[in-house]
Amino acid sequence: MVEINLSFLLRLLADGLLIGFIYALMAMGLTLIFSVLRVVSFAHGEHYMIGGFAAYYLLETFTGLHPLVAILLAGSVTFAIGAVFERIFLRPLAEEKVERPGEYAILVTFGLGFFLQYLTLALIGPHPKKAARYFDLPAFELGPIKATAATLKLGTIPLSATRLTAAVIAVVLMLIMLYLIHHTWLGRGLRAVSQDKQAAAVVGINPLRMSTLAFGMGTMLAGMSGAALVPAFAWVPAVGAPAAVKSYVIIVLGGMGSIPGAMLGGLIIGVVEALGTGLLPDPNRAFAYRDAYGMLIFALVLLLRPRGLFGRQE
């Protein structure tokens, strides 16, 4: 039987936070897309998946390529995919030429996800791939803190190097995004369009270009989180689906279109899952229901406070 003591709780907490940062990065892309296009992309998981594979194959083909470069390149790949898709399939939305835009967007992005997943499966097959660890930790021992190449051990709490890396990358990218959005012309443009298209157009911002950019950046973030995680998880074409579902939960929890919301939501979901899985008495059920914990929170949020923690009143 599991005896619940502080170190165990701390460990669950640490695990939750670590994975939470990674969730948050993905959700951030989704929420960015929503804030500008008012669209939930149901292909988000597939961009994440493709980002991972892109990074993997880049590192395979160009040995000695720096991981961070690979991540950036992977990001630009998914950016391209996203931008092109937006241009072809979501443009009528931005131009407000579609009846019931919400539903159209759901279905068409859904179709994209379906298409991309099976395309990857058909092209590269089902065998799991995984990139080598990006950065080895320097081995050292400092009282309770121990580090090997793979793991950083804080007392009884082991933290995986690959995840630490991914989490750090996630935090950095999120900070960059926040800077972009709050301190550059691009960010101003995006925010303007997300608040009021017409007004933005009047002050000389091209809403169409902004939509393309926003969608591209959203998919880019998904791709980059995939690229950041490909050393942490065995990568297969179906890898995206669960991750995507997580980010839906997160953006609803944090409030659709709210970037701080996405970050906080990610952390909350990460922790809730860890605690739920860690603390539910029956070990079998505890783990089998893992994805359900997020779902339940999600359902409750939708019912009790549809605009989430930070969402603005629609």
Partner 1 sequence: MHRKQLLALVAMAVFLMLLAACAQQAGTPQVVRETVVVTQEIEKVVTQVVEVTKEVERVVEVTPVAGRCAPTDPDEVDKILIGATGPLSAPGSVVGGLVMQWSLNIAVKHINEAGGVLGKPVDLIFYDTEGLPERGTAVAERLITQDCVVGIVGEYHSAVGLTMMEVAHKYRVPVVFAETWNDKITGSQYDEIFRIAPTSSMVAEADANYIQDLGAEFVVIVAENSDYGVPASEATKERLAQRGIDSEIFLAEIGTQDWSPIIARIQALDRTPDVVLTLVTGEASYNFEQQAAEAGLMPTEETVCIANQVAINSEEFWQNVPDGNYCVFRKVGLVPALANDVTRKFEAEYRQQFNRFPESYALEAYDSLLIMADAINRAGSLDPDAIIDALEETDMIGAQGRYYFPYGRKNPVPPDEPEWMWHQWPDPAVLFLQYFEKGQSADEAAVVWPEKYQTHGTFLIPYGTTP
Partner 2 sequence: MKRVDWRWVLTGGALVLALSAPLLLSGYPYWLHVAIVAYFYAILASSWSLLAGYAGQFSFAHMAFMAIGAYGSGLMGKYWGTTPLTGIVLSTLLAGLVGLVIGVLCLRLKGAYLALFTIAFSEVLRLTLNAELDITGGPNGLDLAPLLNTTSRVPYYYLMLALLLASLGFMYWLAGSRFGLFFRSIREDEEAAAAMGVHIVRYKVAAFVITAMIAGLAGGVEAHYIGLITPNILILGQMSIVIAMAVIGGIESLIGAAIGAILIQFSLELLRELGNWRLVAFGLLLMLTLRFARNGLIYPLIERLVLYQARRAVIEGREQKAKQVGEGA
- Which residues form the interface with partner 2 (CB under 8 A)? 34, 39-40, 42, 88-89, 92, 98-100, 102-108, 110-112, 114-116, 118-119, 121-122, 241, 245, 248-249, 252, 256, 284-285, 288-289, 291-292, 295-296, 298-299, 302-303, 306
Q: Which of 12-20, 42-50, 96-104, 220-228 is the region at the interface with partner 1 (rule: CB under 8 A)? A: 12-20
Binding pattern for the stretch 70-109 against partner 1, x by CB under 8 A and - elsewhere: ----------------------------------------
Spell out a b/e string for 280-298, using b for 16 or more CB atoms within 10 Å of the CB, else e. Answer: beeeeebeeeeeebbeebb
# residues near partner 1 by CB under 8 A: 49
Give the three-state DSSP class for 307: coil
**Under rule CB under 8 A, residue 153 binds partner 1:** yes
Question: How many Cβ atoms from other residues are within 10 Å of residue 1's Cβ?
Answer: 5
Q: Dig out the tokens for 50 from the structure.
A: 């493709």
Binder to partner 1 among 188, 191, 290, 307 (CB under 8 A)? Answer: 290
How far apart CA 306 and CA 263 sit, in angstroms, is 18
How far apart CA 311 and CA 261 sit, in angstroms, is 8
> Among partner 1, partner 2, none, what binds residue 135 when CB lies within 5 to 8 Å by partner kind?
none
Q: Which of 5-13, 67-75, 85-93, 198-206 is the region at the interface with partner 1 (rule: CB under 8 A)? A: 5-13
How far apart CA 246 and CA 291 sit, in angstroms, is 8
- Residue among 219 and 277 whose Cβ is closer to partner 1: 277
Site for partner 1 in 263-282 (CB under 8 A): 273-274, 277-278
Residues 6+ apart with CB under 8 A from 284: none
- The DSSP bridge pattern shows strands 151-154 and 140-142 to be unpaired
Q: Which of 11-19, 24-32, 202-210, 253-261 is the region at the interface with partner 1 (rule: CB under 8 A)? A: 11-19
**Under rule CB under 8 A, residue 307 binds partner 1:** no
**Which strand ranges, in their side-by-side order, compose the sheet holding 157-160?**
140-142, 145-147, 151-154, 157-160
From the list 314, 180, 141, the residue with the least C-alpha distance to 259 is 180
**Under rule CB under 8 A, residue 127 binds partner 1:** yes
Q: Which helix (H) or strand (E) holds 152?
A: strand 151-154
Residues 6+ apart with CB under 8 A from 106: 40, 42
Binder to partner 1 among 19, 24, 217, 264 (CB under 8 A)? Answer: 19
Binding pattern for the stretch 215-254 against partner 1, x by CB under 8 A and - elsewhere: ------------------xxxx-xx--xx-----------
Output the smallest distance, CB 117 to partner 2, in A. Answer: 8
The pairs formed by 281-286 with CB atoms below 8 angstroms and a separation of 24 or more are 283/2
Q: How large is the C-alpha radius of gyration of the chain?
A: 20
Q: Which residues bind partner 1 (CB under 8 A)?
A: 1-5, 8, 11-12, 15, 18-19, 121, 125-130, 132-133, 150-151, 153, 156, 158, 160-162, 233-236, 238-239, 242-243, 273-274, 277-278, 283-284, 286-288, 290-291, 303-304
